[in-house]
Amino acid sequence: MATRPKVLVRETIAEAGVELLRSKFDVDVDLDSPLNEIIGGYDALIVRSATKVTADVIERGERLKVIGRAGVGVDNVDVDAATRQGVVVANAPESNVVSAAEHTIGLLVALARNIPQAHNALVAGRWERAKWGGVELADKVLGVLGFGRIGRQVARRALGLQMKVIAYDPFVGPDRFRELGVESASFDDVLARSDFLTLHLPLNDETRGAVDAEAIAKMRDGVRIVNAARGDLVVDDDLVAALESGKVAGAAIDVFVEEPYSGPLLGAPNIIVTPHLAASTEEAQDRAGVIVAEQVVAALEGGLVSNAVNIPTVGADDLEVLGPYIPLAAKLGRFAMELAGNEIGKLTVEVYGELAEHDTRLLTVAALNGAFQGHTDQPVNYVNAPVVAADRGIEVVEEKRRSSRDFTNLVAITAGNARVAGTTIGNDDRLWLVSALGFELEMELAPRLVLLRYQDVPGVIGRVGTLFGEAGVNIANMAVSRNREGESALMALSIDAPAAPDLVARLREGVDEAHVIQ
């Protein structure tokens, strides 16, 4: 009789999750034994946030097939090491959505009606009805920055409170806004029109410090701000100054740059603070345990691991051919999405040449990873990429053709109306951009690229070079393409240093279209 797989539960999870595992496998709940000494005897490992699953632990897990993280993040798991060893890493990204949305609404109501301040005053013996009267939420404009899973749940609840909801998220298709009765707006428009503002943006280089003095200056006087997403989205000192001046009438904060937190926000006027409680409900914790147990069952039984955050090993023959094109597809996906802006309803992955004879799903997920990188509130992986895209109202299409006119192998990505294509060059498989925005190019894909579309008239190239020279930014490579003399032309540049905002603004003067991707 075959030996049943063994599962190690390293941290406490919902009993329902443990019972599900026990109905199918041999399960040990061991919170204390040295993990690196016992892991070799198990096929699956389940942790929460406290256990550090290092490369050494994974290497010692000779039987290990899956690591389940009962929660959202996987920062405590060496995902790269797991991927190299062919171990699936799965989490429970949906477990805290309802709890986080409800906590946001709770902060919104508390902020509007000054509930914590009134409570504290009464407990301290002060009857202050006039001081803590508050405002109604009905008919007020709620601005939602970030319209992912939690942002949409917040919007649903706010609409039930008869608020008017407007939202910003360039990586969500228009159908998702319309089906909820939410107006899609630009970032600055949401800032300018909102009576209440709630933050649900993913944290990346573009969103870090998004709510700073400049952003606050664009808001209505007396705006109220809720942040139960990520502390780094807000510049604390700028928010404190705005609260002290009265520009911001109140703020409710659940997340901080450093936790535990003891900084200046605690002394600001008209502020409500909670110690990162958004996901801290019994239901969310129980849900995480059950979801991760289901993922482990799927992995051990050969089913669909819908919450896998890494790419398991693929056939050696496929990987040998596809390998150099995986980073190419990721870069092209990011490039196409940046060029598309808000016009995103469909993402198409075209594969030409010998590549088309192989399993190209890895190229599709690589393109989606690049396109959505840092722009979603959940990991995108080879299993859930189509689901994540569909959830955001974006159709994903794969097309294969056995030959290409000019190249042995070619990958093309179209996001909205923006199409880019590339290939690899040389023995070292350099990533090469061969077309963008309808123009043919020959240029190596670099970490920092600038695309300028302009009327083909004398002096443009010299002006652009002068602007970069004055800014002290070196141009590493340049390629120029045009359709017909005197009509539209495209200039592509790779640069050695980041382009500052003032340089970007000057580049946009006198051209039809400018994109800076860095």
Please give the full DSSP string across 352-392, using - where no structure is assigned. Answer: EEGGGGS-THHHHHHHHHHHHTTTSSS---TTTHHHHHHHT
Give pLDDT, residue 345: 84
pLDDT at 291 over 80: yes
Under 8 Å CB-to-CB from 440, ≥6 apart: which residues?
Answer: 434, 481
Q: Which of 84, 193, 276, 508 is an active site residue?
A: 276
Which among 124-128, 360-364, 381-385 has the top mean pLDDT?
124-128
C-alpha 279/C-alpha 99 separation (Å) is 5
- Whole-number Å distance between alpha carbons of 376 and 371: 10
Q: What is the mean pLDDT of residues 66-79?
A: 90
Query: What pLDDT does residue 403 have?
Result: 79
- DSSP track, 208-230: TT-BSHHHHHTSPTTEEEEE-S-
Is the pLDDT at 158 greater than 80? The verdict is: yes
| 276 is known as an active-site residue | yes
For the segment 79-89, the average pLDDT, to the nearest whole number, is 85
Regarding predicted confidence, which is higher, 369 or 331? 331
pLDDT, residue 86, reads 78
Per-residue pLDDT band for 83 (boundaries 50, 70, 90) equals: confident
Q: DSSP label at 184?
A: E
Beta bridge partners of 399: 350
Assigned superfamily of 314-445: D-3-phosphoglycerate dehydrogenase; domain 3 (3.30.1330.90)
Asked about 113 being catalytic, the answer comes back as no
Q: How far apart are CA 294 and CA 21, in angstroms?
A: 8
Please give the pLDDT value at position 378: 66
pLDDT band at 64 (very low <50, low <70, confident <90, very high): very high
Name, in order, each residue with C-beta under 8 angstroms of 4's C-beta and a sequence gap of 6 or more: 24, 25, 26
Q: Where are the domains of the chain?
A: 6-93+283-300, 97-273, 314-445, 446-518
- 397-401: average pLDDT: 91
pLDDT of residue 322: 83
pLDDT given for residue 200 in this prediction: 96
pLDDT above 70 covers a percentage of the chain that reads: 96
Residue 14 has pLDDT above 70, yes or no: yes
* pLDDT tens-place string over residues 419-458: 999 999 988 889 999 999 999 999 999 889 999 999 988 9
Distance in angstroms (rounded) separating the CA atoms of residues 434 and 499: 23
* Range 128-156 average pLDDT: 96
pLDDT of residue 303: 76
Q: Which helix (H) or strand (E) holds 151?
A: helix 149-160
Residue 48 predicted with pLDDT over 60: yes
Q: Does 167 score more than 90 pLDDT?
A: yes
Q: In whole angstroms, what separates CA 6 from the centre of its chain?
A: 34
Rounded (10°) angle between helices 282-300 and 97-113: 160
**Which tokens in the block code for residue 382?**
């080879």
Q: For residue 110, give the H/E element and its range.
A: helix 97-113
Catalytic annotation, pick one of 230, 375, 419, 506: 230
Range of lowest pLDDT (209-213, 424-428, 471-475): 424-428
Distance, in Å, from the CA atom of 395 to the CA atom of 19, rounded to the nearest integer, reads 38
For the chain, how far is it from start to end, CA to CA, in angstroms?
57
Whether 6-93+283-300 shares its CATH topology with 446-518 is answered: no
CATH of span 6-93+283-300: 3.40.50.720
**Which residues touch 246 (CB under 8 Å, ≥6 apart)?**
221, 222
Distance CA 410, CA 408 (A): 7
Q: For residues 249 and 245, what is the distance between their CA atoms, to the nearest angstrom?
A: 9
Residue 181: left (phi > 0), alpha (psi -120 to 50), or beta? left
Q: Residue 136 and residue 107: Cα distance in Å, rounded?
A: 14
Residues of the chain with pLDDT > 90: what percent? 68
Instruction: Please indicate, yes or no, whether the overall pTM of this predicted structure exceeds 0.85.
Output: no
Q: Which is the CATH superfamily of the domain at 97-273?
A: NAD(P)-binding Rossmann-like Domain (3.40.50.720)
Cβ pair 310, 381 in contact under 8 A? yes
Distance CA 325, CA 500 (A): 31
Q: Which helix (H) or strand (E) holds 455?
A: strand 449-455
Tokens, residue 114: 């000054």
Query: Residue 385: what pLDDT?
Result: 72
Mean pLDDT score of the chain, rounded to an integer? Answer: 91
The confidence score (pLDDT) of residue 253 equals 98
Q: For domain 446-518, which CATH number applies: 3.30.70.260, 3.40.1360.10, 3.20.20.140, 1.10.260.40? A: 3.30.70.260
Marked catalytic residue, from 259, 343, 357, 470: 259
Mean pLDDT for 377-385 is 66
The span from the CA of 504 to the CA of 488, in Å, is 20
Is the pLDDT at 197 greater than 80? The verdict is: yes
Distance CA 21, CA 289 (A): 11
Tell me the β-bridge partners of 398: 349
- pLDDT tens digits, 247-277: 999 999 999 999 899 999 999 999 999 999 9
Task: Let me know how many helices (H) and strands (E) the chain has, helices first.
Answer: 18, 22
H or E, element range at 88: strand 88-90
Q: Is 406 helix (H, G, I), strand (E, B) or coil?
A: coil
Whether 349 has a pLDDT exceeding 80, the answer reads yes
| pLDDT for residue 309 | 85
Greatest Cα pair distance, the chain, in angstroms, is 82
Phi, psi of 354 (to 5 degrees): -60, -30
Annotation marks residue 84 as catalytic? no
* Among 504, 449, 423, 490, residue whose Cα is nearest residue 338: 449
